[in-house]
Amino acid sequence: MRLRKCERCIAALSLIWFVFGITFTIMLLMSASQDKQETIDAVMRYEKNSLLAVNTSQEAIRKESPKQSAGATEYVKVYAEEKNELYTSVAVPGERWPAPDYDIHAFYYIWYGNPTLNGKYLHWNHQYLPHWDGKMAVQWPTGFHIPPDDIGSNFYPELGLYSSANVSTIREHMIQLRTAGIGVISVSWYPPDQADGQGESTDYLIPRILDVANQYSIKVCLHIEPYKGRSASSLSTMLQYIFHNYGNHAAFYRRKHRGRELPLFYIYDSYNVKKQEWVRLFKPDGDLSIRNTKLDGIYIGLLVEQKHQEELISSGFDGYYTYFASDGFTHGSKGQNWKELSQQAVANDVFFIPSVGPGYIDDRIRPWNKINTQLRKDGNYYELKFRLAIEAAPRIISITSFNEWHEGTQIEKAVPKKTKFYKYEDYLPNQSDFYLLLTRKWIHKFKRHKG
């Protein structure tokens, strides 16, 4: 009996000491984490306001495009469900990055999806695109890739097969962009009820991208894709939509040009629209002219062939970019032509924006296109393109790309991966952030060259 009483006393004392220890530990942790908690509280307030803003934005989209309402509703649901993840994804206070360079623009794609957030894989299962010659096409694979081990890319992302709607993914992307020193992302954009052939509409994600980018002092411009029915008239309508929904956001990129703060737009495959159409929109005397209106901006067309330079200038564009990362694939993508293209841009008071890329390989979606492969050569290819771009003395340099995985132009972190189907390319012997750090190096050189 006494032994049992003693045991009870010991147990009671042990419990008291245990409670005291826990209490003391909690007090220490609360004191040590005060700064972190202040940051978390700030983000919680931000997310409350952001969620309200996204609901408002989605309502505007539903009014503009009924077809998008289901996706937009699901998106807002995901936004709310991710709140716990948001708070644990905040950058550590005092994180040191180079200042963002707003003269460096990286092409950014938000078309990726996975079963967790989208109900299925989007783009990671990219189709094998057929050769244009039917006789040649029969030699190559057909159908779609089958993730997660088999994806439409020669590289495999360190983040796994992410959804572009996932806020923690967007945050990680912004951290990687800031690590590199990039100040602007040019987001691939289709109207609310349209998408590319491999995915679904993504316009409803733009508010999220803007909100998160703003937290990291990154600006956002739009890369206008060749959507169905693109013309002077339809683009005028789409610009009204863009300016109304996104134009006043703090992260919506603007730069001073001819005495005004104007947004910048890249227009992909601009040559597919007739010159007469662009004149209507971009010339001051055009019947749909946006010049000196609330829709005015810096409109940059794609230069593929040499003749496009004169066509773009005479059409009223504010400049031209080259996009393609495979040197020599087009006249514009050949680095040796950039000095001349830059000089002619200066002579005509327009922008020349060369596009540099770390390499190019797309034979996981175009198995017949090996002729345009450009191996990375341990970063040497990227460095050569950056050097040629800087020597051309442009005002802006664009990067193809941050995350176009299908064409192997990404600078986003990638990891080695081998499956029974395929051995993916990687950045070895370098680390996964190798191309981010290489980008930072050359942005520094670009800044020094500009003075």
Nearest to 443 by CA among 180, 65, 93: 180
CA distances to 68, 69, 86, 191 from 74, in Å: 10, 9, 18, 18
Q: Give the rounded percent of residues in the chain with a pLDDT score beyond 70.
A: 79
Tokens of 391: 């020597």
Contacts of 19 (CB under 8 A, 6+ apart): none
Q: Which is more confident, 374 or 58?
A: 374
CB 50 within 8 A of CB 211: yes
Question: In whole angstroms, what is the distance from residue 354 CA to residue 347 CA?
Answer: 17
Distance CA 446, CA 394 (A): 10
What pLDDT is recorded for position 95? 61
Phi, psi of 445 (to 5 degrees): -65, -40
The tokens describing 82, both together, are 């991710």
Alpha helices per DSSP H over 138-216: 167-180, 206-215
- Give the CATH H-level superfamily of domain 102-450: Glycosidases (3.20.20.80)
- Of the candidates 197, 143, 109, 162, the one whose C-alpha atom is nearest the C-alpha of residue 364 is 143
CB 288 within 8 A of CB 280: yes
Check pLDDT > 50 for residue 66: no
23's tokens: 């209490």
Contact criterion met (CB below 8 Å) for 198 and 112:
no
pLDDT above 60 for 431: yes
Tell me the backbone φ, ψ of residue 6, rounded to 5 degrees: -60, -40
Instruction: Give the pLDDT band (50/70/90) at residue 279.
Output: very high
Rounded to two decimals, the pTM is 0.81
Least confident of 80-84, 149-153, 333-337: 80-84
Q: How far apart are CA 359 and CA 414, in angstroms?
A: 14
Say if residues 275 and 232 touch (Cβ distance below 8 Å): no
Does 6 score more than 70 pLDDT?
no
Confidence of residue 96 (pLDDT cuts 50, 70, 90): confident
Of residues 92, 72, 177, 136, the one with CA closest to residue 410: 177
State yes or no: pLDDT of 159 exceeds 60. yes
Q: What is the mean pLDDT of residues 32-53?
A: 34
| pLDDT (mean) for 19-25 | 44
Hey, which residues does 113 pair with through a beta bridge?
122
**Token pair of 155, please?**
């590289």
CA 195 to chain centre: 16
Longest dimension (CA), the chain: 105
Residue 178: strand, helix, or coil: helix
